[in-house]
């Protein structure tokens, strides 16, 4: 399917890194003078994703898109690599879909995947990981407690990183609280371009999770206790 503006603004299943990647692909195809305005339209729809705002502000300074694309790809890859070191040989529980997270799970022992209603993005994550030959088990969201109890660690992505915590798909807060209940480490994997000084506008599909529930934030530079990268 061709990637155009309508495709991106209507995408409710992909993680923020995928939407950002598609946005960069689209911006590369359009005229330089149109890029900021197109990016603004995408930001208005996916307002919880701070990386899109980073793109828009970067283009206002320098409209050269290839430099930005290479920078994002490098940050994403390094974040996945750093996550890979933490989860190697372990059973991991995940929620929703983050392309950065799923690419960091290729050396895990097993992945428990919550289906992530209403869009069921977890099904897409499971399909991709199965194609990589991974041991995957899908759970209804209501089975969250069982999935967390029967894992070593919990990992999620993020749409925005803030000084006081992070924003991700609704369901992440109860997952973090469940991890705390069962004394499981809770990691957030997201590159530093998702950091924001502004609290994003949230609808019912996204929620804020306080940093006190996070074991470590994994980013392209390593791991930190705080998201102020």
63 and 112 in a single domain? The answer is no
Strand-strand pairing, 216-219 and 185-189 = parallel
Query: CB–CB of 37/60 below 8 Å?
Result: no
Which of 51, 72, 93 corresponds to the end of one domain?
Answer: 72
Name the pLDDT band for 12 (thresholds 50, 70, 90): confident
In-domain check, residue 29: yes
Domain that includes residue 16, residue range: 5-72
85 and 22 in a single domain? The answer is no
- Predicted confidence at residue 226, as pLDDT, reads 62
SS3 state of residue 24: helix
Which of 23, 51, 72 corresponds to the end of one domain?
Answer: 72
38 and 145 in a single domain? The answer is no
- Among 7-21, 38-52, 64-78, 175-189, top mean pLDDT goes to 175-189
Mean pLDDT of the chain: 93
60 and 115 in a single domain? The answer is no
- Rounded to whole angstroms, the maximal C-alpha distance in the chain is 52
Name the pLDDT band for 201 (thresholds 50, 70, 90): confident
> Among all chains, which residue has been given the structure tokens 């993005």?
121
Region of 94 (left: φ > 0; alpha: ψ -120 to 50; beta: rest) is beta
Q: Does residue 21 have a cis bond before it (omega within 30 degrees)? A: no
- Predicted confidence at residue 136, as pLDDT, reads 98
What is the value of pTM for the model shown? Answer: 0.87
Which CATH number characterizes residue 191's domain?
3.40.50.10470
SS3 state of residue 2: coil
Q: What is the pLDDT of residues 138-175, one digit of tens each?
A: 999 999 999 999 999 999 999 999 999 999 999 999 99
Q: Rounded mean pLDDT of 76-97? A: 97
Q: Which residue has the higher pLDDT, 1 or 138?
A: 138
Q: Is the pLDDT of residue 99 over 60?
A: yes
In-domain check, residue 229: no
> Among all chains, which residue has been given the structure tokens 């894992």?
151
In-domain check, residue 31: yes
28 and 110 in a single domain? The answer is no
The count of structural domains within the chain is: 2
Q: Is the pLDDT of residue 229 over 60?
A: no
180 and 97 in a single domain? The answer is yes
* Strand ranges (E), 51-170: 91-95, 110-114, 136-139, 153-156, 160-162, 165-169
61 and 161 in a single domain? The answer is no
111 and 205 in a single domain? The answer is yes
């Amino acid at each position: 399917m061709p990637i155009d503006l309508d495709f991106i603004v209507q995408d409710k299943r992909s993680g923020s890194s995928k939407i950002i990647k598609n946005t960069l692909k689209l911006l590369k195809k359009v005229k330089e003078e149109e890029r900021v305005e197109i990016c603004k339209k995408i930001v208005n729809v996916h307002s919880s994703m701070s990386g899109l705002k980073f793109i828009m502000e970067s283009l206002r300074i320098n409209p050269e898109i290839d430099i930005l694309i290479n920078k994002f790809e490098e940050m994403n890859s390094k974040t996945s690599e750093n996550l890979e070191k933490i989860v190697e040989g372990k059973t991991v529980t995940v929620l929703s879909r983050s392309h950065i997270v799923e690419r960091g799970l290729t050396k895990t022992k097993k992945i428990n995947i919550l289906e992530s209603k209403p869009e069921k993005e977890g099904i897409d994550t499971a399909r991709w990981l199965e194609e990589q030959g991974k041991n995957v088990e899908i759970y209804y969201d209501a089975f969250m407690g069982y999935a967390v109890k029967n894992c070593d660690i919990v990992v999620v992505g993020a749409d925005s990183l803030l000084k006081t915590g992070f924003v991700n798909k609704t369901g992440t807060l109860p997952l973090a609280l469940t991890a705390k209940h069962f004394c499981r480490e809770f990691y957030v994997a997201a590159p530093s371009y998702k950091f924001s000084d502004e609290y994003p506008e949230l609808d019912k599909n996204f929620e804020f999770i306080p940093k006190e529930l996070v074991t470590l934030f994994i980013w392209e530079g390593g791991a930190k206790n705080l998201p102020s990268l």
